[in-house]
Amino acid sequence: MRKNLRKFLWLALAAIVTNLAYMLFSACAHATHQSVSSREQNLREYLQKYVGNPASGDNAATQYVSAFVDLGGGGHDAIVYLMRDGWCGTGGCTMLILAPHGETYRVLTRLTIVQLPIRVLSTKSHGWHDIGVLVVGGGVEPAYEARLSFNGTTYPSNPAVPPARPLTGSVSGKVVIPGVAVHHGKSLYP
């Protein structure tokens, strides 16, 4: 009888521990989802203010692709690729590098003529990761990847001219916005 009671208590304890672990995991997953959803919502609201009134001109058709990255070790920076009329030309589209500013963002750099993919490189300048973007079109041939290095305040605003420079050799990095992202843009205005 004592042996059965001990076995029952161990099984009960195992069930309680398993349930507590599941509840803790679920709570953490829910909090993480809320955090990501909140971050996405804050970004969308910021972009809507940045772009302006959807009724004016081409703004209503604006689409974007974004990636949350850690460029300088200070938090959740965002790289945003704005697409559609008004944001793109023959050399590419507009890219924003945003730094967190309280519950919202501030523009660290606005780049024009950016082609996808966008990579965060393993190399750093002034403690911030370099960024690699494709440069092609608008008279630029052949295509090349440009290295955008942080100068202590901002990144270059045009990847086709200095201080941006062609990336030479093999530099490791992570693609944060792939080339196929142009087919998966989110509408800025519902």
Q: Residue with structure tokens 């205005």?
A: 189
Look at residue 115 and tell me if it is in a domain: yes
Residue 142 DSSP code: E
What whole-number distance in Å separates Cα of residue 62 and Cα of residue 17?
50
Domain tally, the chain: 1
Q: Residue with structure tokens 């080339």?
A: 179
Residues with pLDDT less than 70, the chain: 1-36, 56-58, 75, 139-140
Q: Residue 164 belongs to what domain range?
A: 50-187
Look at residue 4 and tell me if it is in a domain: no
Look at residue 12 and tell me if it is in a domain: no
Q: What is the pLDDT of residue 58?
A: 67
Look at residue 8 and tell me if it is in a domain: no
Q: What is the pLDDT of residue 74?
A: 73
Q: What is the pLDDT of residue 140?
A: 63
Q: What is the pLDDT of residue 2?
A: 57
Look at residue 107 and tell me if it is in a domain: yes
pLDDT one-digit tens code per residue, 29-44? 333 333 558 889 999 9
Report residue 88: phi and psi, to 5°: -130, 155
What whole-number distance in Å separates Cα of residue 63 and Cα of residue 84?
6
Look at residue 15 and tell me if it is in a domain: no
Q: What is the pLDDT of residue 151?
A: 96
Look at residue 14 and tell me if it is in a domain: no
What whole-number distance in Å separates Cα of residue 166 and Cα of residue 11?
64
What whole-number distance in Å separates Cα of residue 162 and Cα of residue 142?
17
Q: What is the pLDDT of residue 32?
A: 36
What whole-number distance in Å separates Cα of residue 97 and Cα of residue 111?
8
For the chain, how big is the Rg over CA atoms in Å?
23
CA dihedral 112, 39, 41, 87 (to 10 degrees): 0
Q: Residue 1 is encoded by which pair of tokens?
A: 């009888």
Look at residue 18 and tell me if it is in a domain: no
What 3-state class would DSSP assign to 17?
A: helix
